């Protein structure tokens, strides 16, 4: 069977695309998601800027009903990793890591982004043994203990606030003296007594023993070193887009991307390849918000309905 639409990625963008395509009348739509649907927001302890959702809610709780709502209209979920998307004539082929392929008339890709590594000594060796990129997942291991957070954007600050509720102290280490975050979040950081700001400083080395991390050496802009004896180091220094499925056998991209690998789209989420739409965090100029990723999914979903209709009729 040839799918009307293959949706790659089951975050806010992919799930909303699934809702709009199926509710809009397309019968054969499958979402290919390698894990549990929901996307990266499920790693967030709290989201307070999704319109209409008030009160304290975790990313996991926000996303919980989304897949069920799509399934009600007929969206299918294939829990598999997509390795490559190719196109011949009017047909796309979805290559999967179980060595099978699926064909589709259209594709909406929303594979999001992944946490970037900072690049200090010991980071890779101690990853998962004290170095982490997920406070919701690992914060509880450090209940009542001191931890370090690296980064100065929204993610670092919000996760530092979350960790401050669990841990005895949070060292927030940032390479500049100004944060790249919402003013309200910065205010909350400054008002939180057990967060110590360590500005104009970068991590130099994380070290440990057989049990895991025992400390972090940081270096300030004057070249001075300081050792912070913490068992946990959380890094939040931005993300890289997941565009690997667009890379062809010869190393070129299936559609146009910019220098950072973000997919170039127009305001209807069309890529340079007819029938291929890109949504959410992976597209150019993405606001990197749940609400905008969902909006992209809706736009692409509506476009796909017209595209498939014109192609087949």
| Closest distance to ligand FAD from the beta carbon of 304 (Å) | 16
Longest dimension (CA), the chain: 69
Residues 6 or more apart whose Cβ sits within 8 Å of residue 216: 148, 203, 205, 206, 207, 227, 228, 230, 233
Q: Are strands 82-88 and 212-220 parallel, antiparallel or unpaired?
A: unpaired
Catalytic annotation on 5? Answer: no
User: 196 pairs with which residues across the strands?
Assistant: 171
Residue 293 lies near ligand FAD (rule: CB under 6 A) = yes
Is the Cβ of residue 124 or residue 309 nearer to ligand NAP in the bound state?
124
Q: Decide: helix, strand or coil at residue 187.
A: helix
Which residue in the block uniquely carries the two structure tokens 């940032």? 174
Tally the residues of the chain.
313
112 binds, options ligand FAD, ligand NAP, none, Cβ within 5 to 8 A by partner type: ligand FAD
Q: Which of 23, 24, 28, 34 binds ligand FAD (CB under 6 A)?
A: 34
Contact 110, 11 (CB under 8 A): yes
C-alpha span between 98 and 311 (Å, rounded): 30
DSSP character string of 69-80:
HHHHTT-EEE--
The candidate with the shortest Cα–Cα distance to 272, out of 134, 118, 78, 109, is: 109
- Residue 118 or 304: which CB sits closer to ligand NAP? 118
Nearest to 44 by CA among 57, 26, 32: 57
| Partner from ligand FAD, ligand NAP, none binding residue 40, C-beta < 5-8 Å depending on class | ligand FAD
* 134 labelled catalytic: yes
**Which residue of 110, 139, 231, 232 would you call a contact of ligand FAD, by CB under 6 A?**
110
**DSSP secondary structure string, 246-275?**
GB-TTS-BSS-B-TTSPBP--TT-B-SSTT
Binding to ligand FAD by CB under 6 A, coded x per residue (else -) over 146-165, reads: ---------x---x------
Residue 151 binds which entry of ligand FAD, ligand NAP, none, CB below 5-8 Å type-dependent: ligand NAP
Nearer to ligand NAP, 64 or 199 (CB): 199
Catalytic one of 124, 137, 177, 309: 137
Contact of residue 305 among ligand NAP, ligand FAD, none (CB under 5-8 Å per partner type): none
Q: Binder to ligand FAD among 255, 288, 299, 303 (CB under 6 A)?
A: 288
C-alpha span between 118 and 237 (Å, rounded):
7
State which of residues 4, 18, 21, 33 lies at the interface with ligand FAD (CB under 6 A): 33
Q: Is 67 in the site for ligand FAD (CB under 6 A)?
A: no
Active-site annotation, residues: 134, 137-138
Residues that bind ligand FAD (CB under 6 A): 8-14, 32-35, 39-41, 43-44, 47, 49, 81-82, 110-113, 155, 159, 242, 245, 280-281, 288-291, 293
């Amino acid at each position: 069977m040839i799918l009307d639409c293959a949706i790659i990625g089951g975050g806010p963008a992919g799930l909303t695309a699934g809702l709009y395509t199926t509710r809009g009348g397309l019968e054969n739509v499958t979402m290919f998601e390698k894990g549990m649907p929901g996307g990266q927001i499920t790693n967030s302890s709290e989201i307070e800027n999704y319109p209409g959702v008030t009160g304290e809610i975790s990313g996991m709780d926000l996303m919980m009903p989304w897949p069920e709502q799509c399934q009600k209209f007929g969206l299918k979920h294939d829990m598999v990793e997509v390795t490559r998307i190719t196109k011949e004539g009017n047909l796309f082929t979805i290559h999967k890591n179980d060595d099978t392929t699926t064909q589709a008339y259209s594709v909406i890709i929303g594979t999001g982004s992944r946490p970037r590594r900072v690049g200090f000594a010991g980071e890779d060796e101690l990853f998962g043994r004290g170095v982490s990129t997920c406070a919701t997942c690992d914060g509880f291991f450090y209940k009542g203990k001191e931890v370090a957070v690296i980064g100065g954007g929204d993610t670092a600050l919000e996760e530092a606030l979350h960790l401050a509720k669990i841990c005895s102290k949070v060292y927030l280490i940032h390479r500049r003296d100004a944060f790249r975050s919402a003013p309200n979040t910065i205010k909350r950081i400054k008002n939180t007594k057990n967060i110590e700001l360590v500005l104009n400083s970068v991590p130099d080395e994380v070290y440990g023993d057989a049990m895991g991390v025992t400390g972090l050496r940081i270096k300030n802009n004057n070249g001075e070193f300081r050792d912070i004896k913490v068992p946990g180091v959380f890094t939040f220094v931005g993300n890289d887009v997941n565009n690997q499925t667009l890379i062809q056998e010869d190393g070129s991209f299936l559609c146009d991307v910019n220098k950072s690998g973000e997919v170039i789209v127009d305001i209807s989420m069309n890529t340079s390849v007819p029938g291929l739409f890109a949504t959410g965090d992976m597209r150019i100029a993405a606001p990197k918000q749940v609400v905008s990723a969902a909006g992209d999914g809706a736009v692409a979903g509506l476009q796909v309905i017209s595209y498939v209709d014109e192609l087949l009729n």
